[in-house]
Amino acid sequence: MAFFRPRVSREAEVRYHADQEISKSFPELLDKARRAEETLRELRAAAADEIELLAAGREFDRALTEALRAAEAGQRATFGAKAYDDRIARRKAKAKPDGAMWTAEVDRLRTLRENNRMWGIPRVPRPVPATF
């Protein structure tokens, strides 16, 4: 009796290799996010005006989003090509140490980004156009 072992779909293999390439840039993107956070903290400590804080907060948000995308790609690549098609394989991979590490990192970055979006970017009123 022969057992049929289904192969991974071609689409899953392509996505897996793309995620591997994207995840290689994670350390640089995380370092960029740390530098943007440091700049934002320095501006807050120096009591900078709201326009500068707004620009720094948005830059930190952009850097966090890029780092988060790379971390999510690293998480999916760590799970393996089979996990793209099979939710059970994805769930099993999350329980392994590497998968749990990436999952924790993704959750940490999401929380940091949401915290920055809620409290780190100052709300600056829009200018009202003058009507005559």
Residue in 56, 66, 93, 65 with CA at minimum distance from that of residue 77: 93
pLDDT digit string, tens, across residues 6-43: 688 889 899 999 999 999 999 999 999 999 999 999 99
How many angstroms separate the CA atoms of 111 and 55, rounded?
Answer: 20
H helix intervals, 1-49: 10-23, 26-45
Domain boundaries in the chain? 10-120
pLDDT digit string, tens, across residues 58-101: 999 999 999 999 999 999 999 999 999 989 999 999 999 999 99
- Phi then psi for residue 51, to 5 deg, are -65, -45
Per-residue pLDDT, 109: 96
